[in-house]
Amino acid sequence: MKLQVKICGITQTDQAIAIENAGATAIGFICVPGTPRYIAPEQIRLITQQLNVERVGVFLNADIDTIRETVEISNLNVVQLHGKESPEFCQALRSLNVKLIKALRIRSQEDLAQAQNYHAHVDVLLLDAYHPQQAGGTGLTIDWTMLKEFNPTCEWWLAGGLNPENILEALALVTPHGIDLSSGLENAPGDKNLERVHQLFTCLKSYQNEGW
């Protein structure tokens, strides 16, 4: 199975197109007002209508009506929940008929054990680093050795401080179905560094050529 690569926190059309062309399988947009990488639904749509990859909206403790409206306006086909959404809430979102990713912030084996509550209700579990104030895009990494035995019944993706310098080290320790990067590929929040994007895919090419 090909490794899925999501690049998140996109705000510019030309960068989104370049990142898709570089090899990304999903482009992510932050739908959380007041955060550094936030982009309005109408602006997202201007970008998504140019894309052929998965179009992911990232939400934080939003209600179902807000998510539904944003999905429709923004032309999204994947929803990522990055807050304290319950398994029951995830199940209720199934009515939107979109791919569903639930992000969990991991700092201990106890956090990891909570993941099993979501297996039956989502398509993908995304494991991100814990930060007491920020929900994502922190640049912090998880202790990857904790994840060696992680094997949920659904797909799982690795996030948290990944960049071209550490991605091969992470993938030597764990074998996720996908990876999610944001701050590790930026000049500033929402402004991607395309040179670093290409460095990432050069690293991944060597990884996949070695027989993943």
Annotated active-site residue in 8, 31, 90, 180: 8
Annotated active-site residue in 14, 31, 63, 128: 128
Could you give the CA distance from residue 69 to residue 67 in angstroms, rounded to a whole number? 6
> In this structure, are residues 174 and 138 in contact, taking their beta carbons and an 8 Å threshold?
no
Catalytic site residue 203?
Answer: no
Largest CA distance in the chain: 45
**Phi then psi for 206, rounded to 5 degrees?**
-65, -35
> Do strands 191-192 and 186-188 pair parallel, antiparallel, or not at all (unpaired)?
antiparallel
Closest CA to 156 of 204, 206, 115: 115
Residues 6+ apart with CB under 8 A from 184: 139, 161, 162, 163, 164, 196
Residues belonging to the active site: 8, 128
